[in-house]
Amino acid sequence: MSAAYHLLAERLNARGMDIDAVAKALRAQVVETPSWAYGNSGTRFAVFAQPGVPRDPFEKLEDAAEVHRHTEIAPSVALHIPWDRVDDFAALREHAEELGVRLGAINPNLFQEPEYKLGSLCHPREAMRRQAVAHVGECIEIATETGSDVISLWLADGTNYAGQDSFAVRRARLLESLSEIVKALPESIELFIEYKPYEPTFYATDIADWGSAFLLCQELGPRAKVLVDLGHHPHGVNVEQIVSLLAGQNRLGGFHFNDRKYGDDDVIAGAVDPFQLFLIFHELVACSAFDRGVRFTIDQSHNVEPKIEAMIQTVENLQDAYAKALIIDRSELERAQAEGDVLAGHRALVDAFRTDVRPLTAKVRRELGASEDPVAAFRASGYARRTAEARIGGKAASWT
């Protein structure tokens, strides 16, 4: 065990903290990675293809398994349909199992068909709404075959100009479409509803914020929950407070982790604002979200950085944020809050945030059979070179 770990353990033990319990919680952390992050992606200006990018969902799973191999806390992979449509989902599931991973949330794609120009579930024409509902129905069937327990829905619907359509009528169409979807869900599958304030539409988005998503969930019943994507808020919004509120109402389905400086940038979680990430994990620990099945998915697109390395770094950042949240001196925090000791409460958080938990997370990874330094181990493994050499020919996976 490293000297740095002993120092950290000593410090935490002196505060009466059970470091073994912290390590146990960290070993149980589970993060889902998105299949679409392993394919080529870009901006509306350009897609920069990378060498060795998977050519089909089977190869995407191989890259996801590599992330899991080095971290041992990323055992499941979210799929996006039709990007990940295959003829035989049982075979895909088997391939995942052979690689030591499993298939996670199924994400319907209601934004790329030319028919969806004016929307999908809210489209003015009934035939288009039917087509969109049918696509989600196909995703439910896929979820049944893949053993997935979540349909994770992000809706691109909205309008570009005032007067283009009626808010109220679009809302009524949305509720009708979603009610049909919920009715089609088997017992074992939940529906997550993701919100986003703008993009691809610019005037109004049909599910723009957590309140809109929450309201829909209330109308749709207990199987519908809200998904919080960290890049989907206007600037200055207190995301950790939204997390606390939704968790308190038992409507926090899960996350799409990423980070951003300006818009929906989808860069590595914790790369821009690690303090916000830490505060979100603090709220989750405070309301025992980890015992309540909240799902932790990454939703990122790595356009210029190497994709697998970026994903491994992300998983590490999420582990780091969780570790820091777990070592908060909660009795001191409660004391300070009860006594109105403003800055002592703040200091309790900042003290944990400033603590270097890397010796602890490295130990946890060692115990799990993962790599102590996952990015370095991945770099040294030669995997990137091998796949770049092997994956020649065919068409690289891409969202375009």
The residues that touch ligand RM4, with contacts defined as CB under 6 A, are: 107, 154, 194, 196, 229, 256, 264, 299
Sign (positive or negative) of CA dihedral 13, 373, 321, 73:
negative
Q: How many CB atoms are located within 10 Å of the residue 398 CB? A: 14
Which of ligand RM4, Mn ion, none is residue 123 near (CB under 5 to 8 Å by kind)? none
Count residues near Mn ion (CB under 5 A). 4
Cβ-Cβ contacts under 8 Å for 66 (sequence gap 6 or more): 308, 378, 383
Q: How many CB atoms are located within 10 Å of the residue 108 CB? A: 26
Which of ligand RM4, Mn ion, none is residue 107 near (CB under 5 to 8 Å by kind)? ligand RM4
Applying CB under 5 A, among 157, 206, 240, 299 the residue interacting with Mn ion is 299
User: What are the backbone dihedrals phi and psi of residue 54, each rounded to the nearest 5 degrees, phi first?
Assistant: -55, 150
Q: How many CB atoms are located within 10 Å of the residue 21 CB? A: 10
Euclidean distance between CA atoms 239 and 26, whole angstroms: 23
Q: Is 265 in the site for Mn ion (CB under 5 A)?
A: no
Side-chain half-sphere exposure of 384, counting CA atoms within 13 A: 16
Applying CB under 5 A, among 70, 129, 256, 282 the residue interacting with Mn ion is 256
What's the closest the beta carbon of residue 138 comes to ligand RM4, in angstroms? 16
For residues 63 and 299, which CB has a smaller minimum distance to ligand RM4 in the complex? Answer: 299
Q: Is 176 in the site for Mn ion (CB under 5 A)?
A: no
For residues 173 and 233, which CB has a smaller minimum distance to Mn ion in the complex? Answer: 233
- Residue the block writes with tokens 């919100």: 195
Answer whether 30's CB lies under 8 Å from 293's CB: no
Residue 55, strand partner residues: none
Euclidean distance between CA atoms 21 and 19, whole angstroms: 5
Site stretch for Mn ion (CB under 5 A), options 54-62, 71-79, 179-187, 253-261: 253-261
What's the closest the beta carbon of residue 280 comes to Mn ion, in angstroms? 15
Q: Is 264 in the site for Mn ion (CB under 5 A)?
A: yes
What's the closest the beta carbon of residue 98 comes to ligand RM4, in angstroms? 26
Q: Is 229 in the site for Mn ion (CB under 5 A)?
A: yes
What's the closest the beta carbon of residue 22 comes to ligand RM4, in angstroms? 31
Residue 319 CA to its chain's centroid (Å): 14
Structure-block tokens of residue 208: 């723009």
For residues 115 and 264, which CB has a smaller minimum distance to Mn ion in the complex? Answer: 264
Which of Mn ion, ligand RM4, none is residue 240 near (CB under 5 to 8 Å by kind)? none
For residues 264 and 332, which CB has a smaller minimum distance to ligand RM4 in the complex? Answer: 264
Per CB under 5 A, residues contacting Mn ion are 229, 256, 264, 299
